[in-house]
Amino acid sequence: MSLLCSLYTNPSRQIDVLREFIRQSDERQVIVNWIKNAVSNIAKRIQSLTGSSHVNVMGVGSGSGEVDGVILNELLTTYTTIYNRVIEPCHVQTDVYKTLVNNCHDFCKVHFDFRQQTSDQYLQSRHHDDRRRFDVIHMIQVLYYVTDIEDTILQFYHRHLNAGGVIIIIHISGQQTAWLRFNKEYKDKLPVFMHDNSTSYDIEGALDKHQLPYSKSVLPSHLIINECFQEKSRVGSLIWDYLTEADQTEQFASEELMRDLRGFISRDQGCYQRDDKIMFQNDLDVFVIHKPNPYDN
């Protein structure tokens, strides 16, 4: 009998799981590399349209701010001042973010506005007298947690994005990766948690349906899962919780389910050996959604 509970009912465990995932995966570095290669060019294009030395930025689901920091540093190569609104529901993550801000001298050029809300709460509660619009809105690995992906994108695009601005979305790929097959195989065998099974295909479908202009690129990414095969491994326990989004998976899942889970990552074609590491395929897609400027050529 499975006694699994959602990982999201245990915030401290959730943060430990996320930190271990970052250590065992190249995902963070892959995202950072893309930002360093792409965001400064995006900023220059926006500035060529606005002629402004100031930019308004919104981070949706910004977590502890490490990725936001990379984005802001890239923008500061083009802009002299930044207004940065942070939408993040977890106060523990926000506290870490604020410490990061306080320790970075360059961020004295950035005005931070923290909103402790989910994306859904923010869209529902925005004050009518808040007319600020944004030149860059980024949603990195966050659209799994919204009620309606299509509606969320449309609201941010039409109500919050300046003409000439962009929305940057990073989301799990819809290609046949190990992650996607794992979710399809076990979605009916694991409790239904906060995280949905959406992929980049859902985002692409919404953008095409509403004819929003965008570009798309693939970010190959992998997770090291060696420790998932080691009994009583703390690292393995945390990675299992990342994969299942359950709290203490190894402790509370039935023996039959754990055998099935280990069997899957042993045989799936997206799990393979590279030197002494067992890799779990976890590719991402990046969307840059453009809002046409009436003066854009």
The identity of residue 230, as a single letter, is: Q
pLDDT at residue 136, rounded to an integer = 98
pLDDT at residue 183, rounded to an integer = 82
For residue 127, name the pLDDT band (cuts at 50, 70, 90).
low
DSSP 8-state secondary structure symbol assigned to residue 144: G
Residues 153 and 167: beta-carbon distance below 8 Å: yes
Residues 197 and 183: beta-carbon distance below 8 Å: yes
Q: Say how far apart CA 29 and CA 12 lie, in whole Å.
A: 24
Question: Smallest Cα–Cα separation from 69: which of 26, 27, 89, 98?
Answer: 98
Task: Tell me the mean pLDDT in the region 205-209.
Answer: 97
Task: Tell me the mean pLDDT in the region 93-106.
Answer: 94
The tokens describing 119, both together, are 């994306």
User: Rounded to the nearest 5°, which phi and psi values hold at 89?
Assistant: -80, -20
Q: Is the pLDDT of residue 245 over 80?
A: yes
Task: Please give the model's pTM, rounded to 2 decimal places.
Answer: 0.92
How confident is the model over 248-263, as pLDDT tens digits?
999 999 999 999 999 9
DSSP 55-88: EEEEEES-TTSHHHHHHHHHHTTT-SEEEEEEE-
Question: Smallest Cα–Cα separation from 252: which of 58, 54, 6?
Answer: 6
How confident is the model over 164-201, as pLDDT tens digits?
999 999 999 988 788 888 888 887 777 655 456 788 99
The DSSP H or E segment spanning 250 is helix 249-252
Q: Is the pLDDT of residue 114 over 90?
A: yes
Q: Is the pLDDT of residue 1 over 50?
A: no
Cα→Cα distances 280→269, 285, 293, Å: 9, 16, 41
pLDDT at residue 122, rounded to an integer = 94
pLDDT at residue 187, rounded to an integer = 76
Cβ neighbours around 36 below 10 Å, total: 13
Max Cα-Cα span within the chain:
63
pLDDT at residue 297, rounded to an integer = 54
Q: Say how far apart CA 117 and CA 167 lie, in whole Å.
A: 19
The 110-115 sheet, strands edge to edge: 110-115, 81-87, 54-60, 134-140, 161-172, 284-290, 214-219
For residue 142, name the pLDDT band (cuts at 50, 70, 90).
very high
Spacing of C-alpha 54 from chain mean position: 26
For residue 295, name the pLDDT band (cuts at 50, 70, 90).
low
pLDDT at residue 194, rounded to an integer = 47
Q: Say how far apart CA 150 and CA 138 lie, in whole Å.
A: 15
Cβ neighbours around 244 below 10 Å, total: 23
Q: Is the pLDDT of residue 232 over 60?
A: yes
Instruction: Give the bridge partners for 138, in sequence order.
Output: 59, 168
Q: Say how far apart CA 250 and CA 145 lie, in whole Å.
A: 24
pLDDT at residue 110, rounded to an integer = 97
Q: Is the pLDDT of residue 129 over 80?
A: no
